[in-house]
């Protein structure tokens, strides 16, 4: 397995461009199943998870082609007629990526049935799909679980609109049911819906395909079902978590970095916390400039669904607090097993004590480079950040997690002045 080797202590300076959002691209690619023909998506990052979605769609009979050269961020998905598509998502592909479950809604909506393996992905806690299944049942699907697979079938060949109130806000659940309801007969109302920018981006694309969706970005979304949709032609939004990671990288190294493509409205709480910690952050045309202080100040953080502080930025912010002046309290309210990076940060000298969903972080003047092992996607990013501000050399192992969500992060950081390289297995 590849490793990332970092020699810390370099101040980051310059401009870094944010790639397209993985968590927006995956549901968008799945939404192509709703329309026969060729859908085109631009600004799609080159990531392992995107490749997995491509293999999944190809296994069903779809064409999946990434552009070359200057068009390398463009992907075309060609969906065959319904009779030629195999609505099955096999375990071999789904086990590596939880987002594979996003094909469930489109398949049942357009093809009337689906057989999808129960999902895998990062081991950061229980992420059941009960809300997806509850919603599909209310839309008129029969659901059964057999041999590790979800078997779903529309009772009357076409789903029927319904009022669905999520017990908890779920991003992929909201996305799955928006896609399912887009072709359902009648009106569907989703209450307590996820409000993330990626949900809004999906709704924008679907509306351009001919769907009738209102309220995306709020906790109440209304979908008027239509008979058919046209293929998509859509630009994916920038990745707010990648952008936030670069904001933290600049802040902890006392750097001066322009994060091109960063949308301030997508990271309002993260920016607010970094400002509170002493970073100078200003929105500019086309992105955000961040200047880090000599040393950050401790701030408290509680993760919440959007528009709260994102759980996907918790590990990165914890690194900043590990080298900040003072003590901070980090509370993880979204996933119950998202402190696996703490043990590795402790190997680098971080002073962190975990009690349930709360972590007490006592800032140290510096961290020490050490060999560490990534346990999940965002933990990987936090260890790279820790290496940037540590004395000596840090080797981050098992970076295949990192490659699931960050496009060539070592090259982007090296262009900003970091002493970082990838070592091939």
Annotated binding residue 6: no
Main-chain phi, psi angles of 121, to 5 degrees: 110, -160
62 is catalytic: no
Name 354's bridge partners: 359
- C-alpha 361/C-alpha 363 separation (Å) is 6
Which whole-number Å values give the CA distances from 153 to 156, 169, 182, in the listed order? Answer: 9, 25, 17
Across 236-380, the runs of DSSP E, i.e. the strands, are 256-260, 280-284, 287-291, 301-302, 327-331, 351-355, 358-362, 367-368, 371-373
Annotated binding residue 119: no
By C-alpha distance, which of 88, 18, 69 is closest to 405?
18
Annotated binding residue 409: no
Task: Tell me the CA end-to-end span of the chain in Å, nearest whole number.
Answer: 5
Annotated binding residue 22: yes
Annotated binding residue 312: yes
% helix, strand, coil for the chain, step of 5: 35, 30, 35
Annotated binding residue 293: no
DSSP H/E element including 40: strand 37-42
By C-alpha distance, which of 172, 110, 167 is closest to 141?
110
DSSP string, 314-335: HHHHHHHHHTSBSEEEEE--S-
Annotated binding residue 404: no
Which whole-number Å values give the CA distances from 205 to 78, 202, 213, in the listed order? Answer: 16, 5, 10
- C-alpha 182/C-alpha 161 separation (Å) is 9
| Strand order across the beta sheet in which 63-66 lies | 63-66, 75-79, 37-42, 233-235
Name the packing angle between helices 22-31 and 171-182 (round to 10°). 20
Catalytic residue among 62, 122, 262, 389: 122
By C-alpha distance, which of 18, 414, 3 is closest to 243?
18
Annotated binding residue 165: no
Spatial contact of 117 and 149, defined as CB atoms under 8 Å apart: yes
Alpha-carbon torsion, ordered 166, 170, 176, 179, to 10 deg: 80
By C-alpha distance, which of 331, 276, 265 is closest to 298?
276
CB atoms within 10 A of CB 361: 28
- List the binding residues for UDP-N-acetyl-alpha-D-glucosamine: 98, 127-131, 312, 334
- List the binding residues: 22-23, 98, 127-131, 312, 334
- List the binding residues for phosphoenolpyruvate: 22-23
Q: Which positions are catalytic?
A: 122
């Amino acid at each position: 397995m590849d490793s990332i080797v970092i020699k810390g202590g370099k101040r980051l300076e310059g401009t870094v461009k944010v790639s397209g959002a993985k968590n927006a691209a995956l549901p968008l690619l799945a939404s192509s199943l709703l329309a026969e023909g060729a859908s085109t998506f631009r600004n799609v990052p080159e990531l392992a998870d995107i490749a997995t979605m491509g293999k999944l769609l190809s296994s069903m009979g779809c064409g999946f082609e990434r552009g070359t050269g200057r068009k390398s961020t463009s992907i075309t998905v060609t969906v065959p007629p319904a009779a030629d598509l195999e609505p099955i998502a096999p375990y071999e592909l789904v086990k590596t990526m939880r987002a594979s479950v996003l094909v469930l809604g489109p398949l049942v909506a357009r093809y009337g049935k689906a057989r999808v393996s129960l999902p895998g992905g990062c081991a950061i806690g229980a992420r059941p799909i009960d809300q997806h299944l509850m919603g599909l049942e209310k839309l008129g699907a029969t659901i059964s679980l057999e041999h590790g697979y979800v078997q779903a079938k529309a009772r009357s060949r076409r789903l029927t609109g319904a009022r669905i109130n999520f017990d908890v806000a779920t991003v992929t659940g909201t996305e799955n049911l928006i896609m399912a309801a887009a072709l359902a007969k009648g009106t569907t109302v989703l209450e307590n819906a996820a409000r993330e920018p990626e949900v809004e981006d999906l709704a924008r694309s679907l509306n351009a395909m001919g769907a009738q969706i209102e309220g995306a970005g709020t906790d109440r979304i209304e979908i008027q079902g239509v008979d058919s949709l046209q293929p998509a032609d859509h630009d994916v939004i920038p990745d707010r978590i990648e952008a936030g990671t670069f904001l933290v990288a600049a802040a902890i190294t006392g750097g001066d970095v322009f994060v091109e493509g960063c949308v301030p409205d997508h990271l309002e709480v993260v920016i607010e916390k970094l400002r509170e910690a002493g970073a100078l952050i200003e929105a500019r045309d086309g992105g955000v400039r961040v200047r880090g202080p000599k040393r950050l100040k401790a701030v408290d953080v509680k993760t919440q669904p959007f528009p709260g502080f994102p759980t996907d930025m918790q590990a990165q912010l914890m690194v900043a607090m590990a080298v900040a002046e003072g003590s901070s309290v980090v509370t993880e309210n979204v996933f119950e097993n998202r402190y696996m990076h703490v043990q590795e940060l402790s190997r680098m000298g971080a002073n962190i004590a975990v009690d349930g969903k709360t972590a007490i972080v006592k800032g140290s003047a510096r961290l020490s480079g050490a060999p560490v092992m990534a346990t999940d996607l965002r933990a990987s990013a936090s260890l790279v950040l820790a290496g940037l501000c540590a004395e000596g050399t840090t080797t981050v192992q098992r970076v295949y997690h990192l490659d699931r969500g960050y496009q060539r992060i070592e090259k982007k950081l090296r262009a900003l002045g970091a002493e970082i390289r990838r070592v091939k297995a």
